[in-house]
Amino acid sequence: MTVPVRRLWVAVLCGYLAFGAALQALPSYVPDRYGGGALASGTAIGIAFLATACGRPFAGRLADAGWSRPVVLAGGVLAAIGGLGQLWAPGLGVLLVARLVMGAGEAALFSAALPWVLSGVRPAQRGRLAGWFGLSMWGGLAAGPLVGSAAGGAVWWVVVALSLVAVGLVLTTRRDPGLREPLVRLRGLVPPGVPLPGVTIGLAAYCYGTVAALLVLRLRADHIEVDGVALAVFAAAFLVVRFAGSPLVDRYGGRVVAVSTISVEVVALAGIASASGPVGALVFIAAAGVGLALIYPACVSMTLDRVRGLRPGVSMGVMTSFWDLGVMVAGPLGGLVGERAGFRAAFLVAAGAGLACVAVLLRMPRPAGSRR
């Protein structure tokens, strides 16, 4: 049976455009509606990634067992429910629950769609296709803030609409006639070979989470008047390098690319911490997008090298869960550091996480048979 790759790509893109639009709205939405500060805003952003971190391994394992389509459908529905919950939440507690629901939906949407897509290609092509398909998620996260800015006061309705478009696209796919494993047999959620690439992407995710949760607040605190375009600049740099630079992973190997790009990220985060004017701030913000653009395909390559292409759904799900955990920690921790020591300090802490990421990569043993 032919896998509807393009339709799934667009469905995941729509789901993550909704997720990214919510990230743009929350730093202002939480203080304006609920009176929270940086800690509350960071928690609201980060808590959704707790649900995605917990949900991805299960969604990937269910997909490996033949349940991709219903899990992807459930993901789109949960994302829409989470969007409505954020629109109608009467208090911060309900908003946080809605964020958890939306996070669970996004986990199911991508982590069940990816093994569905990989099931239609030869093992030798899985790394490249996984990196390309990942653009649906990362492109949505990067471009979603632009959608959120353009939507203005209607942002939550746009979030719901995009999630429902994802549901509609999946509903138009054919049912998979393949055999499905009984759910009671689902076992082994952490394949060997995944944790080290997972730690790598988790530390990089802390850098991203700090940018997502605190960049706008950092710029406003020092009256650097580019807060309205900052996330757009970050997204543009991210997407350009992701499209143009992904072949570098196949040419030089995941570890080499990851070390190079995360080194750029460290410099960029330190620059954001020290910037005092709009031009310098935008240069370092763009560099931050460049530094994070290739970390996902690099970690996909390292993970598939280590698991030898077996059980790609759960392997990718667990590895990507580390990303979610990193973003989840960055929101409240970065917000706390920002409130206690200032936003400059919060970005220096993120730069330290980037240095730790480089250290892990340099000490990571190469898998047997790998030349890179």
Q: For position 282, what pLDDT does the model report? A: 95
In a domain, residue 180? The reply is: no
- Which letter, b or e, does each residue of 315-354 get, where b requires 16 or more Cβ atoms within 10 Å of its Cβ? bbbbbbbbbbbbbbbbbbbbbebbbeeebbebbbbbbbbb
Mean pLDDT confidence for 332-347:
91
Report if residue 183 sits inside a domain.
no
DSSP-assigned states of every residue in 249-294: HHHH-HHHHHHHHHHHHHHHHHHHHH--SHHHHHHHHHHHHHHHTT
20 has pLDDT over 60: yes
Q: Is 148 left (phi over 0), alpha (psi -120 to 50) or beta?
A: alpha
Residue 127 belongs to a domain: yes
Tell me the one-letter amino acid at 325. L
Convert the pLDDT of each residue in 108-159 to its tens digit: 999 899 888 877 666 656 656 766 788 898 788 878 888 988 898 899 999 9
DSSP designation for 365: P
Which of 211-220, 307-316, 342-351 has the lowest average pLDDT?
307-316
Tell me the pLDDT band of 368, cut-offs 50, 70 and 90.
low
Q: What range defines the domain where residue 339 resides?
A: 5-175+188-363
Out of 102-111, 116-125, 222-231, give the one with best mean pLDDT. 102-111
Look at residue 44 and give its three-state secondary structure: helix
Q: The CATH number of the domain where 259 resides is what?
A: 1.20.1250.20
Instruction: For residue 217, give the amino acid letter.
Output: L
**pLDDT band per the 50, 70, 90 thresholds, residue 324:** confident
User: Quick one: pLDDT at residue 371?
Assistant: 46
Q: Is residue 321 part of a domain?
A: yes
pLDDT tens, residue by residue, 326-339: 988 888 899 899 88
Q: Is residue 212 part of a domain?
A: yes
358 falls within a domain: yes
Q: Where are the beta strands (DSSP E) in the chain?
A: none
In this structure, are residues 361 and 262 in contact, taking their beta carbons and an 8 Å threshold? Answer: yes
369 occurs within a structural domain = no
pLDDT band at 177 (very low <50, low <70, confident <90, very high): very low
Structure-block tokens of residue 338: 């920002």
User: Is the pTM for the entire model greater than 0.85?
Assistant: no
Tally the domains of the chain: 1
* Residue 85 pLDDT > 70: yes
- On whether residue 348 sits in a domain, the answer given is yes
| Cβ(311)–Cβ(64) below 8 Å | yes
| Best mean pLDDT range from 67-71, 74-78, 207-211, 255-259 | 74-78
* Mean pLDDT value of segment 261-266: 96
Mean pLDDT to the nearest integer, 61-65 = 79
